[in-house]
Chain A
Amino acid sequence: MTTTAKPKWEPGSLTPYAFVTPAVLLMGVGLLYPVFMAFYLSFFDWEIGRDFADAEAVGFVNFARMLNDPQVWEVLGVTLRFGFWVILLEMTLGIGLALLLEKPIRGASLFRTIFILPLMVSPVVVGLIWRYLFDARAGWINYYMSNWFGMEPQVWLGDPQLAFFAIVFTDIWQWTPFIFIIIIAGLQALPSEVVEASEIDGANWWQQVFLVKLPMIKSIIIIALLMRIIDVFRGLEVMLIMTGGGPGRSTELLSLHIYKRAFETQQLGYASAIAVLLILVVFGLSLLILKLSNPMKTRSDV
């Protein structure tokens, strides 16, 4: 990656613009415009089924209400807690397994194929499958818990702590393999001389991992981290199907809360105000990480 990309066309040429324009237009209208619209709508009191012309402009009322709404802060807390646990556990498990299993072996590609399958399952279907498995009465998890381990059957999706555990577990099931595959690829791409050199220097396995290997794949770890953080704030479908956000608000992520505000209690303006908050939180967190390391930037400037 030492060659500098040279400008292919004369500076000031319009060709690059012709190449980027369609994508820029699509993203602008499809992503940025809705964000501005959300901001605009947050100044109105509007319900589904009413003409927007009749909607009342209420100024900052929705924002004031949001700041004083304990529910919003509760679901933000749930989201952060969920994000913390799934990212911590997925990263630990994914990286740990990758380190244990990094040696190339026969059949590796078959295993990798199997590992990426959960990623391809639609979130709706993931929610349905795990709702079935966690079901208190007919669920398989309760059956094996009581028959193999002699534990009391649990109401997984009806108890705040257990339901939270259930959605974390489900997320781990779906996303750990993804981290695993990315990290293991990173490890296998490490120049073997460096690792061997450290071995010769008498580094033990732990020292090798923490002083040599992990620092060398830092940028990959950050990419994976960034992707997972973004996903945590997108997630709502699995919880919507599995628990509907309950019991209480124990599994109601911020995205799901916005959805419920907008389409269950029909307060489109207020939902938009919370959406603005969501954008701010996601942008803030992402900026923080990008400040630590911007993969795109290093890529283009190296």
Chain B
Amino acid sequence: MQNEKVRLTYYYTALILLACMSLAPIWVMISTSLKDEVTLQGDIPIWFFFVPTMDNYEAILTGRGKFDTYLWNSVIVAGATTFITLLFGGFCAYALARTRFVGRTFLANATLMVRMVPPAVIAVPAFAFVMLSGIDNDLAALTFLYTAISLPFAIWLLFGFFKQIPVELEEAAIVDGATPLQVFFRVLLPLMSSGYAVAGIFTLRIAWNEFILALLLTGRNSRTLPVAAASHITEEGVEWGRIMAMGTLIVIPPLIFTFFAAKQIIAGMTAGAVKG
């Protein structure tokens, strides 16, 4: 019993240390965003005890920076990307998991292969497309690319989840005369919540955070938040307070989302990786 106590103490100490390692940089960002210039220029790192100010946020939100537009753009792109990816990715994963058809193996392998295409490879052709077509300032193009990038991984994850659902459920429904779409939406979807949660957060993560393609493909009215954040690195001095405020605003929504859906995500992430 004594041994067990010692062991637990070690465990918790180690876990708490690790948790601090994970959180410290994020806290540095948040606290820096709440400091005024004078505090920031102090020589000693201050973790907690300073007078918080909203100056940095005020500067971002009220400046000519069109923060509201950029926020809205990010929400639309991330939302649309996630929705389309989950819808079509779910269809595709379902067909791959449940049916045999000519080209199935090829498609399964091809899906894995295209997952490996790095965004840097897409960047130049995408830029060329914009230059040649004149289609620019368009959230649709960005959404389209993000969807394409997210699909392979989402399909792969959802595939594992579909595999876990007993076939008998669908068979019963089919006997009752349900169409394939009805089977999908009425029988399978309700059982797939953690699968969709984890596929959703990984898609959201790409679409909300992506920088390079957004930088190249967006203009004055279609910028997303990461692009806007990077443009706060000015020449005369990196304005740490403002940059961190911008960073905080970018990071907070996915963090909150993660916190609320943590159970689903972890269950999904681990189940997807382990049991699939």
A contact residues vs B (CB 8 Å cutoff): 1, 3, 5-9, 11, 13, 15-17, 19-20, 22-24, 26-27, 29-35, 37-38, 41, 46, 48, 52, 97, 100-101, 103, 105, 107, 109, 111-125, 128-133, 138, 140, 143-144, 173, 177, 181-182, 184-186, 189, 220, 223-224, 230, 233-234, 236-237, 240-241, 254-256, 258-259, 262-263, 268, 271-272, 275, 278-279, 282-283, 286, 290, 294-297, 299-300
A residues in contact with B18, CB < 8 Å: 97, 111, 115, 177
Which residues on B are within 8 Å of A, measured CB to CB?
8, 11-12, 14-15, 18-19, 21-23, 25-26, 28-29, 32, 40-41, 43-45, 84, 87-89, 91-92, 94-101, 104, 107-109, 111-129, 131-132, 144-145, 147-149, 151-152, 155-156, 159-160, 163, 166-167, 170, 174, 180, 183, 201, 205, 208-209, 211-212, 216, 226, 229-230, 233, 238, 240, 243-244, 247, 250-251, 254-255, 257-259, 262-263, 265-266, 269-271, 273-276
Give the CA-CA distance A290 to B110 in the complex, in Å.
12
Contacts of B109 in A (CB 8 A): 294, 296-297
> B180 to chain A: which residues have CB within 8 Å?
8-9, 15, 19
Given contacts A97-B18, A122-B226, contact A278 B28 (CB under 8 A): no
- Residues in A with CB closer than 8 Å to B84 are 26
CB A113 to nearest CB in B, in angstroms, measures: 4
Contact of A34 with B117 in the complex, beta carbons under 8 Å: yes
Q: Which residues of A contact B99 (CB under 8 A)?
A: 5, 7-9, 15-16, 19
- Give bound CA distance, A117 to B23, whole Å: 8
> Which residue of the partner chain B has the closest CB to A268?
B124
Distance of B75 from chain A, by nearest CB (Å): 14
Q: Is the CB of B15 within 8 A of A117?
A: no
- A290 and B101 contact, CB distance less than 8 A: no
Give the distance to chain A from B173, nearest Cβ to Cβ, in Å: 10
C-alpha gap A254/B120 in the complex (Å)? 9
The residue from A52, A111, A120 contacting B255, defined by CB atoms under 8 A apart: A120
Which residues in B have their C-beta under 8 angstroms from that of A223? 273
| Chain A residues closer than 8 Å to B122, beta-carbon distance | 30-31, 34
Query: Could you tell me the distance in whole angstroms from the C-beta of B220 to the nearest C-beta in chain A?
Result: 18
**B262 x A116 contact (CB < 8 A):** yes
Partner of A30, one of B95, B111, B128, B145: B145
User: A237 touching B25 by the CB < 8 A rule?
Assistant: no
Q: A52-B128, A122-B251, A185-B273 are in contact. Are A20 and B21 (CB under 8 A)?
A: no
Q: B238 — which chain A residues lie within 8 A by C-beta?
A: 131
- Check B98 against A5 for contact (C-beta < 8 Å): yes
Is the Cβ of A234 less than 8 Å from the Cβ of B26? no
Q: Please give the distance in Å from A90's CB to the nearest CB on chain B.
A: 13
B167 to chain A: which residues have CB within 8 Å? 3, 5-6
Cβ–Cβ contact B247 & A125, under 8 A: yes
The answer to whether A24 and B265 touch (CB under 8 A), given A30-B148, A128-B244, is: no
Name the B residues within 8 Å of A177 (CB-CB). Answer: 18, 22
Pick the contact of B244: A27, A48, A132, A254 (CB < 8 A): A132
B contact patch SS: helix
For A117, give its contact among B26, B129, B151, B216 (CB under 8 Å). B26
Given A20-B107, A22-B88, A258-B120, A113 contacting B247 (CB threshold 8 A): no
Q: Give the residue name and chain of the A residue nearest to B126 (CB).
A: A34
- B-side contacts of A3, CB under 8 Å: 166-167
Contacts of B91 in A (CB 8 A): 19-20, 22-23
Measured between C-beta atoms, what is the minimum distance from B74 to chain A in Å? Answer: 10
| Given A20-B91, A115-B18, 12 additional A-B pairs, CB 8 A | A22-B92, A23-B88, A30-B147, A100-B14, A101-B11, A116-B266, A117-B23, A119-B205, A186-B270, A186-B273, A259-B123, A294-B112
**Distance (whole angstroms) from the CB of B83 to the closest CB of chain A:** 13
B186–chain A nearest beta-carbon distance, Å = 15
**Smallest beta-carbon distance A161→chain B, Å:** 22
B118: A residues at CB distance < 8 A: 233-234, 255, 278-279, 282
User: Distance (Å) between the CB of A49 and the closest chain B CB?
Assistant: 8
Known A16-B101, A185-B269; contact A128-B149, beta-carbon cutoff 8 A:
no
Q: Are A24 and B92 in contact (CB under 8 A)?
A: yes
B132 and chain A: residue at smallest CB distance: A52
* 12 A–B pairs (Cβ distance < 8 Å), ordered by A: A5-B100, A26-B147, A29-B144, A38-B121, A119-B205, A130-B25, A132-B32, A185-B270, A185-B273, A258-B123, A259-B120, A278-B118
